[in-house]
Amino acid sequence: MSDQNNLPAGRQAERKFTCIMCPLGCAVTVKADDSGNIFEIIGSRCLKGEKYIRDEFSAPKRVLTSTVAIEGAKFDRLPVRTSDFIPKDRMFDCMKEIGKIRVKAPIKLGDKVIENILGLGVDVVVTRDLD
Amino acid sequence: MKKIQTDIIVIGAGPGGMAAALKAHEMGVKNILLVDRLPEPGGILQQCIHNGFGLQKFHKDLTGPEYADEYIKKLKGSNIKVLLQTMAIEISKYNRVILSNKVDGLIEVCAKAIILAMGCRERTRQQVSIPGTRPSGIFTAGVAQRFMNIEGYLPGKEVVVVGSGDIGLIMARRMTLEGAKVHAVTELLPYPGGLTRNIVQCLNDYDIPLYLRHNVIEIYGKDRVTGVKIASVGEKGSPLQKTFEVPCDTLLFSVGLIPENELSRMVPLDINPITGGPYIDDNYQTSRQGVFICGNAAFVNDLADYVSIEGEIAGESAAKFAGGNYPNDTRIPTVAGQNVRFVTPNFILRADCATLYIRVKYPMTDVRITSTNNMIHIVKQIVKPSEMIEIKLDAEMLKKIKTLKEFRIDVGPE
């Protein structure tokens, strides 16, 4: 990645990851300075993996799936998901919001139960028909 | 007893059975009966609310219920007869299927072809012989998943997961997100049972410790679980002296799946002791003519997508059988060689194309997958027991295979 002579003088952080882009599951170490500038990625064997590791280091994202309470349906819980990725460190905040929701049957797959959750630009949508 | 005549009966409306019924319908079969014991189609997909389904089949990242919906919509638009809350309780030696439900009582179904798609069951505490008391708070991971995702009960707050199968990993994350604390996941083997992506996204994301080569050796508690004793294990699985105790109120077991074949044994079909499912050929026909099988009832698959792909093959084959134009060619046995736990299907019959799945016995790096007469030759950087390997055979290869006594697959060093 970078050559040893260019190491920044300040404090360095080292974080370990497992790449999940393919079944190889490379063990990858990222070295970065205090402000999060990566100066070395060790153990990654492909470009796709390296991109994944960079994203995981700087801004990891996940799809969140959970359930909400539903009234008047054959089951008490209705499955939902975020319509796109959300930052990994906002998962628990979003769970709190999702926990407040109660809906009434019937409801359709794709219906929004929360629009633009916590201003993240992502909706929470229903993942099945339920009546 | 009520009697039904049909061309094809499909038992089980999960990702295998739905795909099989729809494929047979697409092939022009007029009368298809799809039965399931649950009140709705979809099978276990309905409780798998996490994403990661459909990447192979639909090139989309779907949740379990969304994946099921792709098929349920098509079922609604077809004239396939779906009979729910109905249990298949017997298959006679004349291929008659006995069903039971609240409305009709017993029903005898006479079908030209049968497709078995019963899925699998979870191994339980009893099957891994863990000593201790028998308090409440002990669940299989899949049962806990149903309690949480469909019925709306949190099974407990302080959790230990025994075994690192995918459902256990998924439930470790799910319970953490709902406010429970998962203290440990133990795994007897030196490598995890589940997919790497689940180790990363379900355990590492939430700092849940995975103890490889460890096992729960005692369960404490009278009315409710109060804790477990965990021990490191030696080379042959024997517990070592190094032990520690973890207080908890809930124990989830994720220690493997077993193909569900109570009905298959009644036929009776020949069962492969390695996979726990019936012996099959590459049309997914079993040892009984006219009886087909697909998905986890045949052998435990890694992905629902594979289950549906097999369902389509079973559906197509059953349609041909019901229509009276089933090929009757020589069947060449497949053989598991070096570091191969199983090869499935067990017989090669098709002439156009076929897919074999193999599972290795232990992980290995820099491998070469070879076969009889060196017909296949695949180099891989890594193979793992948790990830099945697909081997595609084309018409030319199949023609050559037909001249062999057997088709053996080996996984060895490169």
Q: What is the pLDDT of residue B234?
A: 85
Q: What is the pLDDT of residue A3?
A: 43
Strands A65-71 and A102-104: parallel
Taking CA atoms, what residue in A is nearest to B195?
A: A23
Assess A121–B contact: CB distance below 8 Å, yes or no: no
The pLDDT tens digits for B273-306 are 999 999 999 999 999 999 999 999 999 999 999 9
Q: Which amino acid is at B61?
A: D
Q: What is the pLDDT of residue B386?
A: 87
The pLDDT tens digits for A53-91 are 999 999 999 999 999 999 999 999 999 999 999 999 999
pLDDT at B76 over 80: yes
The pLDDT tens digits for B336-366 are 999 999 999 999 999 999 999 999 999 999 9
Q: What is the pLDDT of residue A1?
A: 43
Taking CA atoms, what residue in A is nearest to B152?
A: A77
ipTM, interface predicted TM-score of the complex:
0.91
Q: How far apart are CA B163 and CA B165, in angstroms?
A: 6
Contacts of A83 in chain B (CB under 8 A): none
- Considering the domain A65-126 in this protein, what is its CATH number? 3.10.530.10
Q: What is the DSSP string of B320-344?
A: HHHTT-------EEEEE-TTEEEEE
pLDDT at A8 over 90: no
**Average pLDDT, rounded, for chain B:** 95
What is the signed CA dihedral for B55, B61, B67, B69, rounded to 10 degrees? Answer: -140
Which fold, B1-122+257-328?
A: FAD/NAD(P)-binding domain (3.50.50)
CB B358 within 8 A of CB B409: yes
Q: What is the pLDDT of residue A126?
A: 98
**Cβ contact A65–B151 (<8 Å):** no
pLDDT at A10 over 70: no
Residues in contact with B369: Cβ distance below 8 Å, sequence separation at least 6, in sequence order: B358, B376, B377, B378, B379, B380, B383, B389, B391, B409, B410, B411
- A81 C-beta neighbours (distance < 10 Å), count: 23
Q: Kindly list the domain boundaries of chain B, sorted by start residue.
A: 1-122+257-328, 124-255, 331-414
Helix (H/G/I), strand (E/B), else coil: B390? strand
| Closest of A21, A76, A10, A82 to residue B50, by C-alpha | A82
Q: Is A60 exposed, middle or buried (0-12, 13-18, 19+ CB in 10 A)?
A: middle
Average pLDDT value for residue range B16-43: 98
pLDDT at A122 over 80: yes
Which of residues B16 and B238 earns the better pLDDT score?
B16
In chain B, pLDDT over 70 holds for what percent of residues? Answer: 100
Contacts of A128 in chain B (CB under 8 A): 46, 65-66, 68-69
Residues making up chain B, counted from first to last:
414
pLDDT at A5 over 50: no
Contacts of A79 in chain B (CB under 8 A): 49, 63, 65, 149
The pLDDT tens digits for B77-94 are 999 999 999 999 999 878
Q: What is the pLDDT of residue B327?
A: 82
The pLDDT tens digits for A20-50 are 987 778 899 999 988 889 989 999 989 999 9
Q: What is the pLDDT of residue A2?
A: 41
Average pLDDT value for residue range B146-165: 97
CA torsion through residues B230, B236, B238, B243, sign? negative
In B305-395, beta strands by DSSP E: 332-336, 340-344, 347-348, 354-360, 364-371, 377-383, 389-393
**Residue whose entry in the numeric block shows the structure tokens 């079973």:** B314
Assess A91–B contact: CB distance below 8 Å, yes or no: yes
- Considering the domain B124-255 in this protein, what is its CATH number? 3.50.50.60
CB B242 within 8 A of CB B232: yes
The pLDDT tens digits for B202-258 are 999 999 999 999 999 999 999 999 999 999 998 776 777 789 999 999 999 999 999
Helix (H/G/I), strand (E/B), else coil: B201? helix
Q: How far apart are CA B89 and CA B83, in angstroms?
A: 14
CB environment B184-195: b (16+ within 10 A), e (fewer): bbbbbbeebbbb
Query: According to CATH, where is 3.10.530.10 located in chain A?
Result: 65-126
